[in-house]
Amino acid sequence: MAAGSPADSESGSRRGRFKGPYARRRCLVPATQYFEWTTDPAKSKGRKLMWRFNIPGHSTFAMAGLCERAHLTDGPVESFVFLTSAPGTEQSPYHNRRPVILERIQWATWLDLSADPAPCMRGLEDVIAVERATAASLGA
């Protein structure tokens, strides 16, 4: 697994490389926001616009994740992926996938390996705020 790469939640429990971590190594991926990029229709040459997504009223949130530890010749390497699903209405204009953002009350269920994690896959769908991210809005 590559750190921070997405894995689709619909087949996360069934696909080869994610099957083991889904059953035995679930984690929370903390975040304060995430970004998506779209092509600027007013510019040729593929200029991109950056969009910031966050959850109003929450300074941090957690995405459903899977973690893994590999033992390489240089030593152990730990990595994670976050799960994605179909986008909610606020996100669909920007990307065809969205991170699975867990409600706080779902965190313990997601981490409990004896619990069925399927109910967590919906997560928060339409409570996402989006804004055009600029250098000024990012504090640069």
pTM above threshold 0.85: no
Domains parsed from the chain with CATH numbers: 29-62+90-140 (3.90.1680.10)
Q: What is the pLDDT of residue 1?
A: 45
> Per-residue confidence at 128, pLDDT binned at 50, 70, 90?
low
Question: Can you tell me the distance from the alpha carbon of 15 to that of 18, in angstroms, rounded to the nearest whole number?
Answer: 6
Tens of pLDDT, residue by residue over 44-68, are: 677 888 888 888 888 899 999 998 8
pLDDT of residue 110: 93
Cα 18 from chain centre: 15
Q: Mean pLDDT score of the chain, rounded to an integer?
A: 79
The encoded tokens of residue 23 equal 């059953």
